[in-house]
Structure 1
Amino acid sequence: MMHDLLLNAKLARHRKGALHITRLAGKLRGDPSALWALLAQQFLFATDHTDYTRFGDRPIGNWDIFLNVINVEAQQAVSEERLCHVLYAPRKADGRHDDIRMKAALFIHVLRPLCWMGLLEEVRSGAGFKREEHYFKTEIWREVFKLDTDIHLVPNTRH
């Protein structure tokens, strides 16, 4: 995955049977924030994460919708179940989702990449079938994204 990311972001290329950094990568070595921004842009919005799914499923929606919903819902903490509820409405009479593939697509295409880029923090509790994951926005999220839904956020109380 990292190999493909570096090639697609034009930070590396193959030459004479070896992988070499490009001039762009050399320039960005002295500017970590610009390097992170380029890698985040490529990894989140340009990389096709379908290869990492079992069935080739994609989540329904786009990044604008996902980021704005997560921005509001993850202000305190949000579970995958809650995100699916907000994004796709409940599928069962009890308000729960049973579409595992839909949740998996959301995780693989949206939540995991956001976690890997340090924008969300995943906290797990429980074990086995009772395991739950909750997602929190990190300070990086607040620095990187300026979203339409920011006006609806109530600041967290810190003690």
Structure 2
Amino acid sequence: MINFSQPSDDHPDLSYSPLLRAALLTLTHADDQGPIGLTKTKAFKRTFVQWAAMHFNWPGYSYEELMRYHKVLNEYDHPPLELLHFLLIQLKLGRHYKGEFKLTKRGRDLAHSPGALFQELIPFYILKIDHAAYGRFENALCGNWDVWLNVINLEVENGASEHKLYSTFYDDGADWHTSEWRNIAAFSHSVLKPLEWSGLIVGQPVEEKGRTEHIYFKTPLWRSALQLETDISLTPAQRH
């Protein structure tokens, strides 16, 4: 059983979630500045995409990094914004109406309640989205969030790499330099990235055998927002 605790609106650990921060910025922008314009394909218009890139401060997707590869920014050039747009519509916090993205009453209320928005957004994103399909991976991973979260709760207490976490669940002989690399990548995208984008874990890049590996650690938000069965088995993390 996975239980998410709802933090208070002023809880400092909420600041660790890039997805929550982006959602709050988008909702308050639409509340304060009015509806957000849409293209004919119902994506956010470039003016808002550029604004989002400048204000989201999303790790790996800063305005400078995005503009390094694009002269102009469309929604699909900013994957976190594209995902957020989808989530806000699915959760009925916003709707498309006459070429604009408009807030619903629920969306307007949650724009000013970070704790309640976290409770609405993050469990839905982690537990309800088919991450493999969204990432265009052909096969879904064998496993479920109850197992993944409870095991990761133990494994990441002192830090663990993508390879180590994948091997814990699946193939102990897997390696980035074998045919298993696609499966490791699918695991990283479908399990680790949702946790990182939600702000529950954070990855630190290290060089490993000629490639960049990531070592994952829990953020304080993990401890304040998640209640898991394996909590009773935790050995406190070693701090140096």
What TM-score does the superposition give when structure 1 sets the normalisation length? Answer: 0.89
**Is residue 139 of structure 1 aligned with residue 220 of structure 2?**
yes
Verify the 8 A CA contact 2:159 2:215 in the aligned structure 1.
Answer: yes
Distance 1:125 1:58 in 2: 28
Secondary structure of 2:189's counterpart equals: helix
Uncovered stretches (5+) of structure 2, i.e. residues with no partner: 1-82
Listed as ranges, the gaps of 5+ residues in structure 1 are none
Map 1:1-159 to 2 at 5 A: 1-49=83-131, 50-53=133-136, 55-90=137-172, 95-97=173-175, 98=178, 99-126=180-207, 129-158=210-239
- Partners of 1:44 and 1:118 lie apart in 2 by 11
Pairwise CA distance, 1:127: 7.3
2:22 aligns to what? none
Give deviations 1:37-76, integer Å, cap 9, x for gaps: 21112211122221323x4232210000110111000000
The one-letter code of the counterpart of 1:150 is D
Structure 2 distance, partners of 1:154, 1:132, is: 25
Structure 2: distance between partners of 1:136 and 1:158: 12
| Coordinate RMSD, CA, aligned | 1.7
Distance 1:43 1:72 in 2: 22
**Structure of greater relative contact order (alpha carbons < 8 Å, 6+ residues apart):** 2
Q: Give the TM-score normalised by structure 2.
A: 0.60
Give runs of ≥4 in structure 1 deviating > 2 Å: 95-98, 127-130, 156-159
Q: 1:45 to 1:121 in 2, by over 3 A?
A: same
Contact 1:58-1:106 within 8 A present in 2 as well: no
Distance 1:11 1:63 in 2: 25
Q: How many residue pairs are counted as aligned between the two chains?
A: 154
TM-superposed deviation, 1:158:
3.8
